[in-house]
Structure 1
Amino acid sequence: MTSLPYFDADAVRAALPYDRAMRAIREGLLHGVDPELDGPRLFSPAPGGEFLLMPAQGAEYSGLKALTVAPGNPARGLEKIQGLYVLYSSDTLAPVAVMEGASLTAIRTPAVALTAVRALAEAAPSGAELPAEPRVLVFGAGVQAASHIEAALAAFPGARFDVVGRRPERVAALRETVAPIEFRDRTSDPEDAVREADVILCVTSASAPLFDGSLVRDHAIVAAVGTHGRELRELDDALVSRADIVVEGRDSARRENGNLATAIDDAGWESAPPANLHDLVSGRVVRTPGRPAVYTGVGMSWEDLICASVVFAEGRLAREN
């Protein structure tokens, strides 16, 4: 085997700015990607955490993201998620590139979430459109909070930001990370922040709902993407029951999404399952007047493959030039 190109975190970020990642996700969904055909994520125990393997296949490239999830790492000043992405030729199944995996995840997660938020905004009923300068509330102050703030600004250039975090030092660190983007620290008054928000982004590792869903404004859009597993959740049933719901993929949501675990029973999944991202970007989602919209996801393998393919293509183009 010849030497494989390796894209470190800086190279991944350089090749995959948020607007490019969002465009790639949308184009992929419009040109053949079916979230319902995505393979399940594979979990296995690891010391102090777990291994997470995410395989995906495509016409030109296939890939495997191999991560470790260490819940105790943030308290030690270390990253919770670490790993690598291996991109393969679908023709020969030979590996063609290796990439740093955490940076890929930090870009694709907000790229998918903001693709959904922007499409839900485009589908708003008359009189419920987002303002030109939407108030965006972020729950969380870690890596994904920073990524979602930056992606939200790419999606909505006039956005103004509020943040609710658990620890003051994390909020202070977030302020330095996203500078010169400014935000208000609303940790002391989260209920008022929820009442004022046009967009709410939930990017925490919470095990219980972050706020009272009855406080969310009727025109607001909520994206909850911080947790995976039916025992973990960021949203309450009050919000889920009053909102228009969109998921990444119906099978993955039914299997892994704790935000929906108690609000939608088996009969509901069979008779009236929520729309998925393909439905949304294809224009098949009709929002209900007087109801907020919720997008909730757990992370899927097809998203990483789309983003990794862009990194490889952009990197190869840069080397040729």
Structure 2
Amino acid sequence: MQFLNRAEVTEHLSMQAAIDTIEQLLHQQANHPSWIKSPERLVIETFSEDLYGDQIDSDQSSTNKTKHSSGSHLSMPATIYDGEQEYTAVKLVTICPDNPSRDLPTTTAIITVSNNATGEILAVMDGVYITQVRTAALSGIATKYMAADNCQRIAVIGCGGMAYEQLHAVLTVRPGIKIVYLWNRSMQGAEEFKTQFARDYPQWKIELRVCEQLEEALKDADIINLATRSDTGLFSTQQIKPNVHINAVGAYLPSMKEVSNDVIENSSMVVVDDLAGCRHEAGDLIQAHKAANCAWTWDDLSGDLQALVTGKLTNKFNKSEPSITLFKSVGAASFDAAVALYVAQLAEQQNLGTSLS
């Protein structure tokens, strides 16, 4: 059994490898649906005001007055059969919104990968970077198939950990991008993002511009990356170009929303990564479907990422025609499992990480 810490996973998992691995998974799911089993993930809200109300504060002693923002814990198992062997990957995730103030990532995670024939655990690895990369890879894949080929400007709205690799993924599939507009509720967060991204990814010859106003970041963007915890739609169709592609990976609870109903109902294509997961967790689409003054419903959904990659949606849109396209992602255990299995097999082949008996 190999143990890989975050630095080792980061060093050996490339964005292109993650994109290729997930595309292969999507084709495999289409050809052999029974080979991948991914039950709906278990989500437990943590420090939820709905559960505790004021009880948290009243129960705390005078020596322990720490208050936590509501977050969530996720348990995500999946099995993958590759035609010869079957594997199980299990990811345990805790989302802690207060962690940036502690200089810690908002998302913490660990993943185990085992061989189902013997039950042997092949690898245990830090799951933070895998979560960020697989989420980003989904946006990269959607951008590859949905965004115009000649995109040159992208807006990054929300400059947290997920946004970091999401930008890297979009640049991987659209290397012609020249300008990146950054907007964050905290200007300091956007400035830190700019400095860190330029340092870590010098291969991208891009201009990074921090914008004080959201509208400034949006107005000229050919692609918009969203990764926020907003509970209100952030912009309307009047504030964006008529031929923009949007990747929305925030708003992962029904109560959250970063894409307005106006934008959703005016999108020529709305594609999701996981149908079952989005119906339960994609706050943007759930609220649009329920809103009496919104024309969009689940019946208007174009399809999922698998249908997009395998060509089943090619007749539904034309990238050369100006239109708004939207990709909504909440994540699924099968995506984590595919990327984690790739890392586990690479670790076994190259003796990466620390070997544990």
- After TM superposition, the score normalised by the length of structure 2 is 0.80
Mapped pair 1:274 → 2:309 = no
Mapped pair 1:292 → 2:316 = no
Give 1:213 shift: 3.1
Match among 163, 174, 177 for residue 196 of structure 2: 177
Segments of 5+ residues of structure 1 without an aligned counterpart are: 122-128
2:185 — aligned with what? 166
1: distance between equivalents of 2:317 and 2:182? 27
One-letter amino acid of the counterpart of residue 185, structure 2: R
Are the aligned partners of 1:15 and 1:310 in contact in 2 as well (CA < 8 Å)?
A: no
Match among 57, 66, 73 for residue 51 of structure 1: 73
Deviations 1:5-35 (A, max 9, x none): 1111122122210011101111110122659
One-letter amino acid of the counterpart of residue 251, structure 1: A
Moved more, 63-72 or 280-289: 280-289
> What are the equivalent positions in structure 2 for 1:118-157 lying under 5 Å apart?
118-121=144-147, 129-131=148-150, 133-157=151-175
1:125 — aligned with what? none
1: distance between equivalents of 2:124 and 2:310? 32
| 1:318–1:223 CA distance, 2 compared to 1 (3 A) | same
Match among 249, 253, 265 for residue 274 of structure 2: 249
3-state SS in 2 of match to 1:65: strand
Give 1:186 shift: 4.4
Are the aligned partners of 1:141 and 1:165 in contact in 2 as well (CA < 8 Å)?
A: yes
Are the aligned partners of 2:219 and 2:240 in contact in 1 as well (CA < 8 Å)?
A: yes
> What are the equivalent positions in structure 2 for 1:97-136 lying under 5 Å apart?
97-121=123-147, 129-131=148-150, 133-136=151-154
> What are the equivalent positions in structure 2 for 1:1-321 lying under 5 Å apart?
4-32=1-29, 38-46=38-46, 48=68, 49-59=71-81, 60-121=86-147, 129-131=148-150, 133-160=151-178, 161-179=180-198, 180=202, 181=204, 182-243=206-267, 244-265=269-290, 268-269=297-298, 271-285=299-313, 286-287=316-317, 289-319=321-351
Deviations 1:105-132 (A, max 9, x none): 11111011111111113xxxxxxx331x
The structure with more radius of gyration: 2
Are the aligned partners of 2:93 and 2:110 in contact in 1 as well (CA < 8 Å)?
A: yes
1: distance between equivalents of 2:91 and 2:308? 26
CA-based RMSD of the aligned residues comes to 2.3
Are the aligned partners of 1:164 and 1:187 in contact in 2 as well (CA < 8 Å)?
A: yes
Are the aligned partners of 1:54 and 1:64 in contact in 2 as well (CA < 8 Å)?
A: yes
Are the aligned partners of 2:260 and 2:284 in contact in 1 as well (CA < 8 Å)?
A: yes
1: distance between equivalents of 2:191 and 2:115? 43
Moved more, 198-207 or 28-37: 28-37
One-letter amino acid of the counterpart of residue 56, structure 1: A
Moved more, 46-55 or 235-244: 46-55
1: distance between equivalents of 2:118 and 2:80? 13
Deviations 1:75-94 (A, max 9, x none): 23222111210111122333
Moved more, 292-301 or 50-59: 50-59
3-state SS in 1 of match to 2:289: coil
Are the aligned partners of 1:225 and 1:298 in contact in 2 as well (CA < 8 Å)?
A: yes
3-state SS in 2 of match to 1:308: helix
1:124 — aligned with what? none
Give 1:37 shift: 5.8
Are the aligned partners of 2:99 and 2:106 in contact in 1 as well (CA < 8 Å)?
A: yes
* Identity score, percent: 24
1: distance between equivalents of 2:323 and 2:169? 25
- After TM superposition, the score normalised by the length of structure 1 is 0.88
2: distance between equivalents of 1:178 and 1:103? 15
One-letter amino acid of the counterpart of residue 90, structure 2: L
2: distance between equivalents of 1:277 and 1:117? 11
